[in-house]
Amino acid sequence: MSRAVVLLSGGLDSATALAVARADGHECHALTFRYGQRHDVELRAAEAVARQLGVAQHRTMNLDLGWIGGSALTAPLPVPKHRPLDGPATAEIPITYVPGRNTMFLAVAVAWAEVLGARDVYLGINAVDYSGYPDCRPEFLAAFQQVARLGTRAGVEGGGVTLHAPLAGLDKAGIIRLGVSLGVDYALTHSCYDPDAAGRACGACDSCQLRRRGFERAGVPDPTVYAE
Amino acid sequence: MSRAVVLLSGGLDSATALAVARADGHECHALTFRYGQRHDVELRAAEAVARQLGVAQHRTMNLDLGWIGGSALTAPLPVPKHRPLDGPATAEIPITYVPGRNTMFLAVAVAWAEVLGARDVYLGINAVDYSGYPDCRPEFLAAFQQVARLGTRAGVEGGGVTLHAPLAGLDKAGIIRLGVSLGVDYALTHSCYDPDAAGRACGACDSCQLRRRGFERAGVPDPTVYAE
């Protein structure tokens, strides 16, 4: 059974990407990062999703991005609420962007894949219903594919590691429909950028709005409890 | 004064790259990683070099690559000694290669540059007298430049971050001559992959052999004390 490394944040998208990797027939090695995010509810969500979908192993790596700053997800800056989801919202890069995050996550994922002998890395980025982060776009992923090819033993000695973004072209409703068909339990996932002390989703950040609209459009009941 | 981020390992090459960044007129922000290497003598060397060359600040980031394994620098595997320096030695990738290392280092450097408002990142990679690591080659760096352009706020909103490898085309002797001309005190630097308990260089690993030969060819006295 071929191995795959799957980046698993605990959110809706990465849970779906994990389900796709599993459906593609891989033995899945899930990788989560404690990167200085202000809340750890998503780490618990990642554990629950990994368990539900039956991974071979699940690693959570400490990666201190907090000292770099520059993001409302790792520094005490307010998370924007009730931003319009279309138009300007996705044309500008919001303050929830975390500099270098996906590049670092991919670097670790590819390194681990090399050592595991895995040829495939899955991640749940998508650029349709998303927050406008530059490191979620297909052109970014294509550039990183070249880095993986040229900067690794696996790439140079043959074989190499292939990056898969199976959700790249889907909107949130499409992702949810796909995940439901693959058995994802979305009640276990967490999307909110700014949960309350009890871990409850705010309902108003970009991520909550995209999630809520996705379930509505997919015609799937949203299991999330929102604060507003 | 424009800011630059400089990757500083404590070795001969990165010390020289820092001196070049300084000579280029930058206010230098040095970045070192505690990445699970088996010895920390190089971390102390990085501190000494940063002090000698007068950086604006020096950060050491914890980055636990030890769990990934696959390298003699982070796992209890023997470091090869007395390998021939030319021919096959640089045609194969040795066990001292650390999967993903430079990709992660660059990801953090570029992220920090974004937040600092720095437009330039310097690193001391070279592909002439080197250990044959894939992530030291110019083609790897060119690929990462694309990642930096496409995956960052700085790259998307204009300006961007430019990577500089000022030693890329130099052999070790040329690097040493350049560094001497720029005031680098090589006695502060550390190159050995396998120092003894006292931090003394082994004299026989690839890195020691390249260093020793570099000083000889440059006609510069080698300040290093080697165990053999």
For position B91, what pLDDT does the model report? 65
For position B166, what pLDDT does the model report? 97
* Short-list B123, B169, B130, B168, CA closest to B18: B123
DSSP B88-117: HHHHS--TT--TTHHHHHHHHHHHHHHHHT
Q: In what order do the strands lie in the sheet with A57-62?
A: A57-62, A27-34, A3-7, A120-122, A162-164
Going by pLDDT thresholds of 50, 70 and 90, the confidence category of residue A90 is low
Q: Is B81 helix (H, G, I), strand (E, B) or coil?
A: coil
For position A87, what pLDDT does the model report? 57
Q: Tell me the residue range of the domain where B171 lies.
A: 3-218
Percentage of chain B exceeding pLDDT 70:
98
Tell me the CB-side half-sphere exposure of residue B174, using CA atoms within 13 A. Answer: 11
Mean pLDDT across B162-166? 97
ipTM of the complex: 0.91
Tokens of A106: 């991919």
Count of the separate structural domains present in chain B? 1
Radius of gyration of chain B (CA): 17
CA distance to A208, B18, B48, per residue, from B58 (Å): 38, 12, 10
> What whole-number distance in Å separates Cα of residue A27 and Cα of residue A4?
6
Establish if B43 belongs to a structural domain: yes
> What whole-number distance in Å separates Cα of residue B59 and Cα of residue B53?
15
For position A162, what pLDDT does the model report? 97
Going by pLDDT thresholds of 50, 70 and 90, the confidence category of residue B89 is very low
CATH number at residue A89: 3.40.50.620
> Could you tell me the pTM of the whole model?
0.93
Establish if B224 belongs to a structural domain: no
In DSSP terms, A32 is beta-bridged to A60
CA distance to A141, A149, B147, B171, per residue, from B150 (Å): 9, 17, 5, 32
Q: Which residues of chain B make contact with A70, given a CB cutoff of 8 A?
A: 111, 114-115
For residue range A21-50, what is the model confidence (pLDDT) as tens digits? Answer: 999 999 999 999 998 877 789 999 999 999
Mean pLDDT across A144-156? 91
CA distance A31 to chain B (A): 11
For residue range B119-159, what is the model confidence (pLDDT) as tens digits? Answer: 999 999 988 877 788 998 999 999 999 999 998 888 888 87
**Residue B17 clears pLDDT 80, i.e. is over it:** yes
Residue with tokens 């990056």: A163
Highest mean pLDDT pick, A5-19, A150-164, B115-129, B146-160: A5-19
A31: closest chain B residue by CA: B68
For position B87, what pLDDT does the model report? 57
> What whole-number distance in Å separates Cα of residue B97 and Cα of residue A105?
19
Residue with tokens 């720029």: B182
For position A88, what pLDDT does the model report? 45
Which residues, 6+ apart, have CB-to-CB distance to B154 below 8 Å? B113, B114, B119, B160, B161
Establish if A225 belongs to a structural domain: no
Going by pLDDT thresholds of 50, 70 and 90, the confidence category of residue A103 is very high
Point out the least confidently predicted range of A76-80, A216-220, B103-107, B211-215. Answer: A76-80
Percentage of chain A exceeding pLDDT 70:
98
Mean pLDDT across A106-131? 92
> What whole-number distance in Å separates Cα of residue A134 and Cα of residue B155?
9
Tell me the helix, strand and coil percentages in chain A, rounded to 5: 40, 10, 45
Mean pLDDT of chain A: 92
Establish if A226 belongs to a structural domain: no
Inter-residue contact B204 to B214 (CB < 8 Å): no
> What whole-number distance in Å separates Cα of residue B202 and Cα of residue B228?
6
Tell me whether residues A59 and B70 touch, CB distance under 8 A. Answer: no
Q: In what order do the strands lie in the sheet with B27-34?
A: B57-62, B27-34, B3-7, B120-122, B162-164
What is chain A's length? 228
CA distance to A46, A125, A139, B136, per residue, from A161 (Å): 23, 17, 17, 18
Establish if B210 belongs to a structural domain: yes
In one-letter notation, the amino acid at residue B132 is G
Mean pLDDT of chain B: 92
For position A89, what pLDDT does the model report? 46
Establish if B132 belongs to a structural domain: yes
CA distance to A36, A43, A102, A189, per residue, from A6 (Å): 20, 15, 13, 15
Q: Mutate which of B7, B68, B163 to test chain A, going by most A C-beta atoms within 10 A?
A: B68
Establish if B198 belongs to a structural domain: yes
Tokens of A59: 């690693």
> What whole-number distance in Å separates Cα of residue B110 and Cα of residue A103?
10
**Residue A92 clears pLDDT 90, i.e. is over it:** no
Q: Mutate which of B103, B116, B146 to test chain A, going by most A C-beta atoms within 10 A?
A: B103
Conformation bin of residue B117: beta by default, left when phi > 0, alpha when psi is -120 to 50 = left
Q: Which residues of chain B make contact with A156, given a CB cutoff of 8 A?
A: 93, 134
Residue with tokens 């110019």: B138
**Residue B179 clears pLDDT 70, i.e. is over it:** yes
Establish if A224 belongs to a structural domain: no
For position B36, what pLDDT does the model report? 83
For chains A and B, what is the number of CB pairs under 8 angstroms?
Answer: 132
> What whole-number distance in Å separates Cα of residue B164 and Cα of residue B24?
11
For position B172, what pLDDT does the model report? 95
For position A17, what pLDDT does the model report? 98
Q: Which residues of chain B make contact with A64, given a CB cutoff of 8 A?
A: 61-62
For position A59, what pLDDT does the model report? 97
* Short-list A131, A150, A116, CA closest to A31: A116
